[in-house]
Amino acid sequence: MTTAPALDQPLCLRRPSLRPWCLRAHLARPILAAVLRRAPVRVTMPDGTELGGADDPDAPTLRILRPTALFERMAHHPKIGLGEGYMAGDWDAAPGTDLADALLPFAQRMTTLVPPGLARWRRVVDRRIPTSTRNTLLGSRTNIEAHYDLSNELFEAFLDETLSYSSALFDRSRPLAEQSLEEAQAAKIEAVLDTAGVRKGSRVLEIGTGWGSLAIAAARRGAQVTTITLSREQAELARERIAAAGLADRVSVRLQDYREVQGQFDAIVSVEMIEAVGEEYWPTYFRAIDDLLAPGGVAAIQSILMSHDRYLATRRSYGWIQKHIFPGGLIPSTRAIEETTERHTSLRVTSARHFGQDYAVTLRRWRERFLEQWPTISAAGFDETFRRTWEFYLAYCEAGFAAGYLDVAQIRLEREVLL
């Protein structure tokens, strides 16, 4: 049976006799009520009373099912407790309310939800990022395996036929309902290859193989592709898919860290890999790209992004996503990428194509498919806590992109020309 990482259990939850003396838990309810008053969402308690929120009966509605447990989790670990409360069943979306729709108003007000008088306590409640998740050569392998080696069958159950686990790119001149996810993922792949100038005869390095679809598309253009991954599960299936496409002579799949690659490449592509690199290693990552890029070559990365202010505010604190989904991960800002490349490499950002709303659509389709396929996923050994973990993860991220709190872009990098 596959389970999610262990939930935090504050001492007050482990030892009920201490609950009357837990000051943090007593403070959690009025603080949560103050936050809820700033978002148009109804929140009901087990006795039918409402805790702050909207007066509109048609507003999205959340139900707190186990108040004591939820308040204690949030009191001790605010950035982790909300998600773990969902995992544990302390709260949920009321019937008729979609979870992402209920989270959207909070995502839209992320910077203003906490009253100013309480915001100053952020440093007190923030948790430091564990050193065990550092992206050293060994740490990166462990972090990647924790997510991507869950099983290929899990990802096959909810991804499209391309097995692309990154934002699709939809044609906004056409109705979204007419576009399949597979079509939009293929468009994303072609756009990345176009950005990097991949053509017949190109020597291509892909950092982060996924399940091989981008490598296959590049090889079909006539390129010679080296693609690297730290996931054994991904590498195995990618090799099978590449061989089935008749392209094994054009694509080499390696279990290798980006810091271990040697050679020269005309194009380097990396789709939603930088988020797993870790801030400490961004200079190393971009220096590796710089060193491996042949004269006149182009790099194209697709990256999830957040505003620079939010990146600075969250870069040192430990959140639910880092604990339960992507250990060692950190989302950069465009400015952080620009500053890192300018300080440590000869690379410069020369263009960026942003399409964050397309990620919201992608995530909703993944979540719908995940829930639809849950009987199959469950039969493969995944438990109910895992289901709730992934349902919250996909809905939470969808709300972030729909609100504009998160973004995604394809970024072109070229060497600075010195005159």
In sequence order, the 6+-apart residues with CB closer than 8 A to the CB of 413 are: 289, 298, 299, 300, 301, 341, 347, 348, 349, 350
Are 231 and 119 part of one and the same domain?
no
The dihedral over CA atoms of 177, 178, 182, 186, expressed in degrees to the nearest 10, equals -120
Does residue 2 belong to any structural domain of this protein? no
Q: Can you state the angle between helices 23-36 and 67-76, rounded to 10 degrees?
A: 100
Domain boundary among 62, 92, 125: 125
Does residue 6 belong to any structural domain of this protein? no
| pLDDT attached to residue 167 | 98
Question: Of 394, 368, 366, which is closest to residue 185 (Cα–Cα)?
Answer: 366
Are 264 and 117 part of one and the same domain?
no
| pLDDT attached to residue 357 | 98
Structure tokens at 120: 């100053």
pLDDT, one tens digit for every residue, the chain (419 residues): 455 566 666 656 666 655 555 666 667 777 777 787 788 899 999 998 887 666 777 889 999 999 888 888 888 888 899 999 999 999 999 999 999 999 999 999 887 776 665 555 555 556 667 777 787 877 777 877 777 778 899 999 999 999 999 999 999 999 999 999 999 999 999 999 999 999 999 999 999 999 999 999 999 999 999 999 999 999 999 999 999 999 999 999 999 999 999 999 999 999 999 999 999 999 999 999 999 999 999 999 999 999 999 999 888 888 899 999 998 889 999 999 999 999 999 999 999 999 999 999 999 999 999 999 999 999 999 999 999 999 999 999 999 999 999 999 999 999 976 54
Are 116 and 141 part of one and the same domain?
no
Are 238 and 148 part of one and the same domain?
yes
Q: Can you state the angle between helices 213-220 and 232-244, rounded to 10 degrees?
A: 30
Order of strands, edge to edge, in the sheet holding 61-64? 42-44, 61-64, 91-93
| pLDDT attached to residue 220 | 98
Range of the domain at 186: 133-415
| pLDDT attached to residue 240 | 98
Amino acid 146 reads A
Domain boundary among 80, 96, 125: 125
Contact criterion met (CB below 8 Å) for 392 and 371: no
Are 339 and 252 part of one and the same domain?
yes
Are 330 and 209 part of one and the same domain?
yes
The 10 Å Cβ neighbour count of residue 109 is 16
Does residue 159 belong to any structural domain of this protein? yes
In sequence order, the 6+-apart residues with CB closer than 8 A to the CB of 31 are: 118
Q: Can you state the angle between helices 78-88 and 67-76, rounded to 10 degrees?
A: 150
The pTM of the whole model exceeds 0.85:
yes
| pLDDT attached to residue 379 | 94
| pLDDT attached to residue 113 | 75
Residue 168, phi then psi, degrees to nearest 5: -80, 170
Are 137 and 119 part of one and the same domain?
no
Are 265 and 207 part of one and the same domain?
yes
Does residue 410 belong to any structural domain of this protein? yes
Per-residue HEC secondary structure of the chain comes to CECCCCCCCCHHHHCHHHHHHCHHHHHHHHHHHHHHCCCCCEEECCCCCECCCCCCCCCCEEEECCHHHHHHHHHHCHHHHHHHHHHHCCEEECCCCCHHHHHHHHHHCCCCCCCHHHHCCHHHHCCECCHHHCCCHHHHHHHHHHHHCCCHHHHHHHCCCCCCCCCCCCCCCCCHHHCCHHHHHHHHHHHHHHHCCCCCCCEEEEECCCCCHHHHHHHHCCCEEEEEECCHHHHHHHHHHHHHCCCCCCEEEEECCHHHCCCCEEEEEEECCHHHCCHHHHHHHHHHHHHHEEEEEEEEEEEEEECHHHHHHHCCECCHHHHHCCCCCCCCCHHHHHHHHHHHCCEEEEEEEECHHHHHHHHHHHHHHHHHCHHHHHHCCECHHHHHHHHHHHHHHHHHHHHCCEEEEEEEEEECCCC
Cα separation, 28 vs 217, in Å, equals: 52
Are 174 and 291 part of one and the same domain?
yes
Q: Would you mind telling me the total number of residues written for the chain in this entry? A: 419
| Greatest pairwise CA separation for the chain in angstroms | 73
Are 163 and 114 part of one and the same domain?
no
| pLDDT attached to residue 296 | 96
Q: How many domains does the chain have?
A: 2
75-to-9, 126, 279 alpha-carbon distances in Å: 12, 11, 28
Q: Can you state the angle between helices 384-403 and 78-88, rounded to 10 degrees?
A: 130
Are 49 and 180 part of one and the same domain?
no
Are 117 and 145 part of one and the same domain?
no
Does residue 368 belong to any structural domain of this protein? yes
Cα 17 from chain centroid (whole Å): 39
